[in-house]
């Protein structure tokens, strides 16, 4: 094996072939099940996670066809055929992979055609915990209902008395000395703040379904950037990486502005005082689909919008609950912003995910394409 080349300015980074890495050891170290399937449908390789997933040893799996280890008429088989015909990788979220032997397991699956003329397909299955699946499908909707009900109670039991308190403070202010106006102003400000909180909770009202007009997502992002750079994000460096060929998104322009304004505001509050940076990007992701609960339909979500910052990141204990109401890392936060973002994205038929580590937090929004 050739030795790594050395550049004049120092040691060059060795190529993959020069690292003398056992590829099988790498595949066995992955936490997802990996299969290699030939053009005739036979499994040619299964890693350790695949043995565990299918509860079958690799020796046996390597003598079987893919349709022998998948449920009858499973979507994976249709995806495999689609990838072979189109040559484009397909990624599907939350697909139920079940059989009497392994039980019912929700998975994210990716099917990719290797480009080495061998005709081999790489199939990767990432199992999701049952709790994660329930959270993805139900938590945001259930949380929205809870906040909506609470807002209705607060609107009746709190907002009306607060209006009376504010009015009384304004009347008192007319007869107070100049030095005492700060106290009445404080009463008015605090009542306004509580009313604003209730108004934000009322935004979860499920009766407000978004309009379905074609929206140029780049116009939305530029509007959000303009607001940010002239307000809460002054002095923060913005970078953009847009795919100008993206088709429109079906939805409500104002609600989409609210989504990305909230994400950018969170990013602006997370970045360091010096060297803060927010990156906005868009891309078209072929083959990204999500299962529609209760049906066999697959919703295509090819439009990807990301908001990335170089802040400290989300604490690990908060990551699983990031989009739940009243969960916040801010001492003065209400914890309603991201919950509302998740609800609006869900109302638009999309999904939102977060990846976070120190100096790199990415919120990824996947949205459908507007149809004629």
List residues bridging with 288 in a β-sheet.
Answer: 91
pLDDT tens across 43-65, in order? 999 998 888 888 888 888 988 99
In the chain, % of residues over pLDDT 70: 73
Q: What values do phi and psi take at 72, rounded to 5? A: -60, 130
Residue 133: its H or E element = helix 130-134
The pLDDT, as a whole number, for residue 217 is 95
Q: Please, which pLDDT band fits residue 138 given cuts at 50, 70 and 90?
A: very low
Average pLDDT over residues 263-289: 89
| Of 153 and 97, more confident | 97
CA 346 to CA 143: how far, in whole Å? 12
Average pLDDT of the chain to the nearest whole number: 78
DSSP-derived secondary structure letter, 62: T
The pLDDT, as a whole number, for residue 145 is 55
The pLDDT, as a whole number, for residue 22 is 73
CA 254 to CA 240: how far, in whole Å? 21
Question: Regarding the domain with residue range 21-128, which homologous superfamily does it belong to in the CATH classification?
Answer: PAS domain (3.30.450.20)
Q: Please, which pLDDT band fits residue 102 given cuts at 50, 70 and 90?
A: low
| Of 8 and 121, more confident | 121
Q: Using DSSP bridges, classify how beta strands 33-37 and 237-241 pair: parallel, antiparallel or unpaired.
A: unpaired
Q: Please, which pLDDT band fits residue 32 given cuts at 50, 70 and 90?
A: confident
The pLDDT, as a whole number, for residue 215 is 93
Average pLDDT over residues 136-147: 52
pLDDT exceeds cutoff 50 at 13: no
pLDDT exceeds cutoff 50 at 202: yes
List residues bridging with 10 in a β-sheet.
Answer: 7
The third-level CATH classification (topology) of the domain covering 213-367 is: Heat Shock Protein 90 (3.30.565)
**Lowest mean pLDDT across 60-74, 219-233, 330-344, 351-365:** 330-344
pLDDT tens across 313-326, in order? 888 877 777 777 66
The pLDDT, as a whole number, for residue 16 is 47
Q: Please, which pLDDT band fits residue 130 given cuts at 50, 70 and 90?
A: very low
- Tokens at residue 16, please? 């993959």
pLDDT exceeds cutoff 70 at 355: yes
**Lowest mean pLDDT across 37-51, 62-76, 257-271, 292-306:** 292-306
Are residues 75 and 92 in contact, defined by beta-carbon separation less than 8 angstroms? yes
Give the burial class of 353: count Cβ atoms within 10 A of its Cβ; 0-12 exposed, 13-18 middle, 19 or more buried.
middle
Please name which of 275, 283, 263, 293 lies closest in space to residue 354, comparing C-alpha atoms.
Answer: 263
pLDDT exceeds cutoff 60 at 167: yes
Helices H / strands E in the chain, number of each: 12, 16
- Tokens at residue 54, please? 């299918």
Q: What values do phi and psi take at 123, rounded to 5? A: -115, 125
Are residues 298 and 75 in contact, defined by beta-carbon separation less than 8 angstroms? yes
The pLDDT, as a whole number, for residue 258 is 86
Domain assignments of the chain as residue spans, ordered by start: 21-128, 133-202, 213-367
Q: Please, which pLDDT band fits residue 143 given cuts at 50, 70 and 90?
A: low
CA 258 to CA 253: how far, in whole Å? 9
pLDDT exceeds cutoff 90 at 362: yes
Are residues 266 and 297 in contact, defined by beta-carbon separation less than 8 angstroms? no
| Of 174 and 215, more confident | 215
- Tokens at residue 23, please? 């590829």
Average pLDDT over residues 3-8: 42
| Of 312 and 296, more confident | 312
Average pLDDT over residues 282-297: 69
Average pLDDT over residues 35-45: 92
The pLDDT, as a whole number, for residue 309 is 95
Please tell me whether residue 323 adopts helix, strand or coil conformation.
coil
**Domain 21-128 and domain 213-367 have a common topology:** no
The pLDDT, as a whole number, for residue 134 is 41
pLDDT exceeds cutoff 50 at 7: no
Quote the distance between the C-alpha of residue 36 and its chain's center. Answer: 29
Q: Please, which pLDDT band fits residue 365 given cuts at 50, 70 and 90?
A: very high
């Amino acid at each position: 094996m050739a030795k790594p080349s050395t550049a004049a300015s120092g040691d060059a980074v060795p190529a993959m072939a020069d690292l003398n890495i056992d590829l099988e050891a790498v595949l066995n170290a992955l936490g997802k099940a990996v299969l290699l399937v030939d053009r005739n449908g036979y499994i040619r390789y299964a890693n350790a996670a695949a043995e565990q997933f299918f509860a079958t040893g690799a020796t046996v799996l390597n003598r079987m066809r893919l349709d022998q280890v998948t449920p009858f008429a499973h979507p994976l088989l249709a995806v495999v055929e689609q990838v072979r015909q189109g040559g484009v990788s397909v990624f599907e979220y939350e697909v139920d992979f079940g059989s009497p032997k392994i039980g019912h397991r929700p998975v994210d699956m990716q099917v990719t055609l290797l480009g080495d003329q061998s005709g081999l397909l790489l199939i990767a299955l990432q199992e999701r915990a049952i709790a994660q699946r329930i959270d993805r499908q139900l938590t945001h909707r259930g949380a929205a209902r809870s906040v909506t009900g609470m807002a209705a109670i607060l609107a009746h039991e709190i907002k009306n008395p607060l209006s009376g308190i504010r009015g009384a403070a304004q009347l008192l202010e007319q007869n107070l000395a100049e030095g005492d106006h700060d106290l009445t102003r404080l009463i008015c400000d605090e009542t306004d703040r509580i009313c604003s909180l209730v108004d934000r909770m009322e935004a979860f009202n499920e009766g407000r379904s978004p309009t379905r007009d074609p929206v140029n997502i780049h116009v939305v992002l530029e509007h959000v950037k303009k607001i940010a750079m002239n307000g809460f994000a002054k002095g923060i460096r913005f970078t953009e990486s847009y795919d100008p060929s993206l088709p429109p998104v079906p939805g409500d322009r104002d609600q989409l502005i609210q989504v990305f304004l909230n994400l950018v505001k969170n990013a602006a509050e997370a970045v360091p005082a010096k060297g803060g940076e927010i990156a906005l990007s868009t891309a078209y992701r072929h083959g990204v689909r999500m299962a529609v609960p209760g049906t066999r339909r697959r919703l295509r979500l090819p439009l990807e919008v990301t908001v990335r910052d170089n802040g400290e990141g989300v604490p690990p204990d908060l990551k699983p609950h990031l989009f739940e109401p009243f969960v916040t890392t801010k001492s003065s936060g209400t914890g309603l912003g991201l919950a509302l973002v998740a609800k609006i994205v869900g109302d638009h038929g999309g999904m939102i995910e977060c990846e976070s580590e120190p100096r790199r937090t990415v919120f990824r929004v996947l949205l459908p394409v507007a149809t004629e």
